[in-house]
Amino acid sequence: MPLAASTSYPLLDAFWTIFEIFAFVVWFWVLVVVLTDLFRSRDLSGGAKALWFLFVLFVPLIGLLSYLMVRGSSMHERTERQAQEQEEAFRSYVQNVSEQPNTADQLSTLADLHDRRVISDSEFEQQKAKVLASH
């Protein structure tokens, strides 16, 4: 007896189940994207956000479709603006960190000055303590 004949789950039902799972995953993904956009949006007041949230929560299909029709065209712009702000903050942080001299460089400079007798032993120890205390 072939395997297909021994099962009671027809192929069309298997495809339908796969489609339902796919639709649920897409539905959940759209819900997360819309709610993320809703709460990150700076042009809505708290009350407007609460109303949109309740609308999407209690009337999900109509709420999501309404949100996408009313505010969907600017979702990309808000997402892009936020990505640019995050990138600028990251670049600023990296630039700030890279401009600060690290402890090893400062100690090596102090040791070089000490070896060339530019600074005395006591000045070397004092500056070394400052460098180690600041990091």
Distance CA 52, CA 66 (A): 9
Residue 52 forms part of a structural domain: yes
Q: Are residues 61 and 109 in the same domain?
A: no
pLDDT for the residue numbered 20: 96
Q: Specify if 47 maps to a domain.
A: yes
Same domain, 56 and 106: no
Considering the domain architecture, whether residues 104 and 68 belong to the same structural domain is answered as: no
3-state SS class at 41: coil
The alpha helices in 1-135, defined as continuous H runs, are 3-6, 11-40, 46-58, 60-71, 75-99, 103-115, 121-134
Q: What's the total number of domains in the chain? A: 2
* CA gap 81, 56 in Å, rounded: 24
pLDDT digits (tens, 9 = 90+) for 65-112: 999 999 988 898 988 998 999 999 999 988 887 776 777 778 888 888
Task: Take residue 107 and report the two structure tokens written for it.
Answer: 């100690």
**Average pLDDT, whole number, for the chain?**
87
Q: Please give the Cα distance from 57 to 109 (Å, whole number).
A: 63
Q: Is 5's pLDDT higher than 60?
A: no
- Looking at residue 106, its pLDDT comes to 81
Nearest to residue 54, comparing CAs of 66, 62, 45, 63? 63
Residues 69 and 109 in one domain: no
Average pLDDT over residues 25-47: 93
In whole angstroms, give the CA distance from residue 64 to residue 56.
6
pTM recorded for the entire structure: 0.58
Domain boundaries, position 106: 99-135
